[in-house]
Structure 1
Amino acid sequence: MSTTERGSRMEALGAHIPARTLTTRELTGRMETLRDVDVQRITGVAERRVADPDPAAGEDSFTMALSAARDALAASRYEAADLDIVISASITRFKDGGRFVFEPSFAGSLARELGALSAIHFDVSNACAGMMTGVYVLDRMIRSGAVRTGLVVSGEQATRVADTAAREMSDSYDPQFASLSVGDSGAAVILDRATDEADRIHYIELLTCSEYSHLCMGMPSDRTEGIALYTDNKKMHDKDRLALWPRFHKDLLAKAGRDFRDEHFDYVVQHQVGTRFIDYVNQTGEREFGAALPTSLAVVERYGNTATTSHFLTLREHLRAGTARPGSTFLLVPAASGVVTGAMSVTITNMGV
């Protein structure tokens, strides 16, 4: 394969799913102010997984990322020492008993724990599009010939913001409402060079509209100890925001002389915000493209919104369960604070899960 034709593929997927389950009704049952609000009906999230709160269990953002990376390596033909690069994309960075860690980098610490001692390593931060951004960077590095294989990994202990919301929310219009839909998990993907069209990332492109960054902000709570997520759901998910993806994607395809029907997607994976969001954004896509969308894959009902890990957790769960066919072409659509959107087209046939 020539340098101009060189591309990347998804070689293996891994995940860490905490054993502890918390239902939406259990979560909202702690909140006197929301006793009459059916949060499960509004979000579509019946339950989510929660990292074990026992310090002895040691389950946090870092250990979930490490477990997911090991799971991916177990499904891969590569060993950790074969990795040229490790990219970490966690938003939440809890480690060593609940400390929020900025240095040393998660990627460096993960590489050392895994045994990828010669790998380049760095963290990326792009809200819920973090893992997609890591894949974007790694895909470009493989295409350029800078590296041959690498790992993108994330661990998200997002339910910390749900705990804050449960303490602080006054009503269903509170900007912390979206925090009630989150869940914890880890996910990892290994990329290497593509050798044929049966396993290939055809394209991945991202768009950031920073003028909307104020609509969803994670930060220390302004009322109690802990981290909080403040989201203007009405503006974040209005028709103009939802139309950013299909309009960007349509322009991207037009530049290549194609339209949406030419892509022959078998499945679409939206960011797992909630069932209503997924339905609305798919409907918006159909209107903008003037074409039916393929089967939409989701795990949000069982796992909630797992932030950066959501697309890759969804892929792994459906491929492993057989509810997504090998040999299919998938469309992954990010939707992140920023606002970040875009499109990733990938065909997956022989991937370890």
Structure 2
Amino acid sequence: MARSSSRLEALGAYVPSTVQTTSELVDRVAGPREFDLRRITGIEERRVYDPRPEAGEDCYGMALRAALDCVGRSRWAADDLDVVISASITRFQDGDRFSFEPSFARQLAGELGARTALHFDVSNACAGMMTGVYLLDRLIRSGAVRNGIVVSGEQATRVAQTAVAEMSGSHDPQFASLSVGDSAVAVILDESVDEADRIHYVELMTCSEYSHLCVGMPSDRSPGIALYTDNRQMHTRDRLRLWPGFHGDLLAKQGRAFADEGFDYIVQHQVGTRFVEMVNRTGEAAFGTAMPPSLSVVERFGNTASTSHFLVLREHLRAGTARRGAKFLLVPAASGVVAGALSATVSTMGV
């Protein structure tokens, strides 16, 4: 028998203890420093992984710690999990090895003890976690599985290391790399039996004609990995309108408008404070209504790639700056370009 809805049941995270301020990062830039990175991005500091192997802060190690934290906050034991999905962009393991096989999901399932779980990796840039949640939501709604975990660990600051050595100024395509930070998150979904804990919808759209505007790849100048972003084109009015256009059409098909949704909070992708403000203003203009209070942690953690939305959710719920029983809107904005919306009411989720 098909189940009608899923919910966010537990949320775990891991962030490195090492703090790097924006001033400390800019001091390492080899080229011209004619820019004020703190003013441009609103980022005061970010967390940076410890490179020592014994620290266990490679992508896989952080993902495992987040998954263990999540299971520890769940009513489900690891061997009860039906699905394990890994959504990391960065896939460093055992030092500098970029790992593809065996899949992170397979390794995580084994170490967690979810030995009978379906397991697979997904890759969808900064929308990776959202994509994993989308897939798991559909599996639960169809009745194919009872529950599952989606996890990601991101060593994003590796592109910042490349950028500080190679970039030539604020117009360099690696400039956006200075905004990133490292973290891992994991979320367990299971069946919703109460509207007080429910994913109302999660939908995504990819506009592949813009995929060239932000590309992660090996550096063309050194052995490091790099992120090349056309910031000017990525943040044009047309790009910013992708989310409200898609979301508005989605609601219109159901005879509803944005104002009818009653969102208590909105979480944008944590690119920077200016970006969050721009997207919210674009949404207000498109929907003709004020946006709900906007939650953010970018000032303290930077852009943590695929983990960003769920890190925001975890930090604000734990701090009490977002109330339980509230309705949240999570809005992805990823290379690809990916837009979409996740609407969920969260009351009892373990954090």
TM-score bracket for the superposition, by shorter chain length: over 0.9
Unaligned runs of at least 5 residues, structure 1:
none
Q: Which residue of 1 aligns with 2:327?
A: 329
Q: Which residue of 2 aligns with 1:199?
A: 197
Amino acid at match of 2:84: V
> Are 1:224 and 2:226 an aligned pair?
no
In structure 2, what is the Cα distance between the partners aligned to 1:169 and 1:88?
31
In structure 1, what is the Cα distance between the partners aligned to 2:125 and 2:56?
24
When normalised by structure 2's length, the TM-score is: 0.99
Amino acid at match of 2:18: R
Give the match's secondary structure for 2:134.
helix
Q: Which residue of 1 aligns with 2:28?
A: 30
Q: How does 1:255-266 map to 2 (within 5 A)?
A: 255-266=253-264
Q: Which residue of 2 aligns with 1:152?
A: 150
Contact 2:30–2:166 (Cα < 8 Å) also in 1: no
Give the match's secondary structure for 2:165.
helix
Amino acid at match of 1:306: T
In structure 2, what is the Cα distance between the partners aligned to 1:237 and 1:296?
19
In structure 2, what is the Cα distance between the partners aligned to 1:83 and 1:158?
28
Contact 1:72–1:190 (Cα < 8 Å) also in 2: yes
In structure 1, what is the Cα distance between the partners aligned to 2:32 and 2:322?
37
Shift of 1:34: 3.8
Deviates more, 1:336-345 or 1:35-44: 35-44
Give the match's secondary structure for 1:33.
coil
Give the match's secondary structure for 2:334.
coil
Q: Which residue of 1 aligns with 2:60?
A: 62
In structure 2, what is the Cα distance between the partners aligned to 1:35 and 1:235?
23
Q: Which residue of 2 aligns with 1:271?
A: 269
In structure 2, what is the Cα distance between the partners aligned to 1:98 and 1:221?
15
Percent of residue pairs identical: 71
Q: Which residue of 2 aligns with 1:121?
A: 119
Shift of 1:30: 1.2
Q: Which residue of 2 aligns with 1:341?
A: 339
> Are 1:8 and 2:6 an aligned pair?
yes
Contact 2:34–2:170 (Cα < 8 Å) also in 1: no
Give the match's secondary structure for 1:228.
strand
Q: How does 1:233-244 map to 2 (within 5 A)?
A: 233-244=231-242
In structure 2, what is the Cα distance between the partners aligned to 1:344 and 1:50?
28
2:87 to 80, 84, 89: 89
Q: How does 1:242-321 map to 2 (within 5 A)?
A: 242-321=240-319
Contact 2:56–2:62 (Cα < 8 Å) also in 1: no
Shift of 1:35: 3.0
When normalised by structure 1's length, the TM-score is: 0.98
In structure 1, what is the Cα distance between the partners aligned to 2:72 and 2:235?
38
Shift of 1:6: 1.7
Unaligned runs of at least 5 residues, structure 2:
none
Amino acid at match of 2:276: I
Q: Deviations over 1:223-277 (max 9, x none)?
A: 0111000000000010000000001100100000000011000000000000000
Shift of 1:98: 2.2
Q: Which residue of 1 aligns with 2:17?
A: 19
Distance 1:335 1:275, change over 3 A: same
Contact 2:216–2:227 (Cα < 8 Å) also in 1: yes
Alignment RMSD: 0.8
Contact 1:28–1:34 (Cα < 8 Å) also in 2: no
Q: How many residues align?
A: 351
Shift of 1:32: 4.2
Amino acid at match of 1:53: P
In structure 2, what is the Cα distance between the partners aligned to 1:318 and 1:82?
28
Shift of 1:59: 1.1
Contact 2:210–2:336 (Cα < 8 Å) also in 1: yes
